[in-house]
Structure 1
Amino acid sequence: MISAAADSRQQLRAEEILRQRERQIYRRIDRMFAVLMMVQWLGAVATALCVSPRTWSGATSEVHPHVWYAFWAGGALASLPVWLAWRRPGDTITRYTIAVAQMLFSSLLVQVSGGRLETHFHVFGSLAFLAAYRDWGVLMVATALVSADQLIRGIFWPLSMFGVATADHWRWIEHTGWVLFEDLFLLITMRKSTEEMRNNALQTALFESHHADLHRYSEQLHRSFEKERSIIEGSLDAVVELDARGKVLNWNGPAERLFGWTVAEAIGSQLEELVIPEHDQQRYLAGLRQLTESPAGSQVHQRFEMECVARGGRQFAVELAIVSIQGSEETTFCAFVRDITDRKSHELDMRRAMEESEAANRTKSEFLANMSHEIRTPLNSILGFAELLVRNADEGDERTRRDYADTIRTSARHLMELINNVLDLSKIEAGKMQVERARFSPHQVIAEVVSLLRVRAIEKGIVLNYRWDGPIPETVTTDPHRVRQLLINLVGNAIKFTEQGSVMIVAGVAREGDRGLLTLEVRDTGIGIEPSKLSDIFHPFVQADSSMTRRYGGTGLGLAICKNIAAALGGDLSVDSQLGRGTTFTAKLEIGDLRHVRMFEAPPDAATGDYVDRPISANLQGVRVLLADDGETNRKLIQVFLSRHGAEVQTVENGEMACRIALAEQFDVVLMDMQMPQMDGYAATRKLRSLGFLKPIIALTAHAMKGDREKCTFAGCSGYLSKPVNVDELIRAVEVAAGLELRHDELVKQEKEKKIKRALAGPIRSSLPTEDEMLREIVAEFVESIPARLDAMERALADEDYEELQRHVHGLKGSGGTAGFTCLSEVSAELESYAAARKGDQAAALLGELREMEPLIVV
């Protein structure tokens, strides 16, 4: 079916080609006859002029009529064929018109020549020319026309045809016979020519078909080649084509980039000599031989990892895959090379990460076991001694009952410390640990830490003390709470791991340019740490020895927290230890500029003393508090604490009840637990604020992470306390919220007023030894700057630019203390707090006091 359809298409194409060629012949011969007509016209006129140019009548002569006949008749005969050959070449009407005109030209020539025999040959020539059309119809029309001409003129005008006055009536048959004889040969010739044209057209059609097939096949090969080349060139892998001997035949772009050799340099080289190091060449050649010896037609390939060397000597790991390609003449190979350096590195990193993950899991498992033990120990004490109190095991003895209560409180604080450590670590790991910068006395902080932990040291029979190595700064600038936390952890650890001897805190300061560093060394005479463990002790959940955990307890979090605190304060924490002889932890903390800080040779006579946990004294008489908390124990405890200070407390269990009662009755403060059933504290606070409740709402939440305070504030809370609630903080918060903070600060304020009155009674002089010329110059420079400072404060206050006011007041506070004017620092400190709270009236009053003091300040 396919062959028959192809033959049919070829036949149709051959016919089309034949018609095209016939039309080309027709057009070409039409143009030839157009020229011939013009030549014949001129020839007819010339013949007439030669044969009978003139006719005579006696002694006169004139142009022979044949001449005029040749001119006009010849022009008429030539005009139409020439026009048709010009305007419609190749058309059927054109060639038939030319055939008629051509034969009439033969008749014209015979007539103007007087029937000469020579002109009759023009008829035979015309038929031969017309046979060039290869159209038997044209030849037949011409033959019929010439036969009719010879018949008619031979009978009626024999002189014009045969050149005689009378002729045999059958003479025209003789002439016609010769014409038909010529036609016979011409028709045979035309038939053979037409057959040749037809065969030629068929051959051309076949050639075109084969050429089209060849072109399509060539296009397919080209597309296949381009596709293969694009795939190879676009491949991420290096692709190398090899012959059976391992010689490079092709080399793509990635291979150039991977190995550094160009295509021109690589082609013709042995691959093993070019890119394979000596120690891997034998393995490569063995794999190549195995591929070469594989049975014909089998698809065999080799894949292995090995080392390759690039131009310049760089070695790297690759994955090499070689595939055999069976050709008609020889077998070639295609090698795919992939750089697996990164993969190898990732695999190594993954193995390390898995090992570290397994180690971390083991460490965390140990930590959970330790934490479980650490939490259960104080929890057992709390539950046990609480059970004794419930069962009246003290038998009414007040001293025993207080001893039980003290044990419960101590255990609870220890439990709270464990939880705080875990929370601190989670803040550190989340990158959310915050530090503050404030001025404080480092001597005060160290003394408080020593006082706090001295009882624990005495219980173990060891000495806990501290000293300063060098001058002692009056104040430093950093976060006092984080410094205290750092020292408590370090000193607590030192006491824990020291059985006899002492624990010593050595403090000192150093200057690095304009920057000051506070150095805190905690030295102990304890068990020490193995050198191999020193790099691990600052990791979370890790202790130097797990057996130490069982012996001494602990969670392994303290040193990790200390390390991060030191880093957050712009310093570092390091350790030096000798096994069995003791350990020294050294913390270096950035403490700001020390150029204007007063330095002491001995600790100042400040009210440092021992750190004593004294209960706060407050009067909440007449304050109504609404407490919303779903925990019955929390409600009872908070109600007892506030009631003992005079507050009237009403409790509810959820946010919905809190909203209903807060709107129905009058309360001064609302304490709102943020996690409650039915309606939580966030929803309850938003609802109260939307309904116009304006009284203070203090959030109570067990969440103490960064962002929790902001979340409560956004809900509408005006205060924030984290659970478990510190009693002093709770009472202070209620006192401030109820507007009773003046009661708490009354004594402090009265004392300050006394100092100011005493100062206003006479000149205010610096406490510095101004007999020293240099110090006197510093004090004088400060005194001269006071009026400008106060002017700047008044302008900032008038513009209500509290940030600018706070900045100027802070500068006066620090400079006043440095210059020895303590009264200025005290008033400035309070003014700074009012500026931070944007309390303009209070700030204006204190600024007025500073103006009163200004003229009394002298050098």
Structure 2
Amino acid sequence: MSAQATAIEKLQQEVTALKEEKQHMQAVLDETLKATNHLIFNQGVLEALLYNAPDGIIVIDSNGQIETFNKAAEALFNYREIDLKHQPLNSANLFQLPEGYQGDVSQYLMEHRNVTAEQDIWGLTSEQRNIPLRISVSRLDNIQPLLFEVDDQYRDELSANSSPLLCFITDISTELQQLNNIKIQSRVMQQMALKYRSLQEKSDRANQLKSEFLANMSHELRTPMQAILGFSDRGISKADKCDRETLLKYFNNINKSGHRLLTLLNDLLDLSKLEAGKVELYCEKNDLLDTVNTSLQELKVLIDEKLLDISVEPPQVPTQACFDANKILQVVRNILSNAIKFTPKQGKITISFAAASIASQHGENEPPSAAVAVTIKDTGVGIPSNELETIFDKFTQSTKTRTGGGGTGLGLAISKEILLAHNGNITAASTENQGSQFTFTLPYELTETVHPEKATTA
């Protein structure tokens, strides 16, 4: 082969090699272009996801500057991204740091990266309005090149600077409001439970009182009724055998039991009417001193039998007031009867008058009404301190007076209702084995009657 042919063949081989290298380079270029387009697409998708995410997202670069401030963050803080992009986070005034905090905003966010609804981290809107936030913060070391334009020199310096941060921010105002509503509902339910428990206790107490009332009523009615039936049966069986004097004794016992039964029924009727507010008061100017003296005169026989020392202290205050004379006489008679009954022979009963006041029935802002207080103090057996709260309940008698003294246990309950109807009140005090003291108070002027259940104008 000639030298020329050899040169041509070598040239053809070089051309073929160049074509193959060109094809390889073109394939590498096409692959690189495809990868670049894919990377650009992925970065676009990532940026779209960040910008359109439902939660607020703030991306902070390694220099502490805001790189991304998405649409939800704009709505949350009422700032535009264009106004904050590349601005230092520390000067953006987006978060309210605790007073005296020494670090910067990025450090504070990293410390509160797992904040819950029970902790408080607060954001600040452009109008300086506080908003409660939940924040999740992540470092972006591994995906820095996808989010930022980083040259080789800057990439080499990354290790010397702080890492970029990705902040997910959620407004928890609604959650806190719902939590607060739940707490309010819980408190309301607790109050309702307490109210129900109180009503249940009152219902149980009412049932207990009803049972006690029926038991007491049965006893109080049965005793005189048994006496009436017993003496009448005895009188019938012995009518032809016994003398007139014995029959008269039977009739007297029947008469006493009948009167006792009638008194009980009258007391029950009076109490029922008073509690229902159906008793009209005939109020006019009367003198309490005269009422006390009238009651003492009625009870004079009982007083003399026991040789009691009765002392009525000269009043130092006016004793004339507007009240129903018969009803208040009943009150004085009930209290004095108890004092006489439970004071030993040659004991002492003292009656005194004093100035008092009664809270207005028309509201706390109204001034109290001027009133007169009557105190009846004896030297009897007294009342145990733990029984003073219930002494005015129906059919309730002190354990110190329950036996041997008689009575139905209705007198003080009736007295209390009468005084309440007059806008007055009654209290008891006692030293056991040394005596008791009952004080009832009446306003000088009575414009209307007020009752715990109903009110009746006098």
Q: Highest relative contact order (Cα 8 Å, sep 6+), 1 or 2?
A: 2
Structure number with higher helix proportion: 1
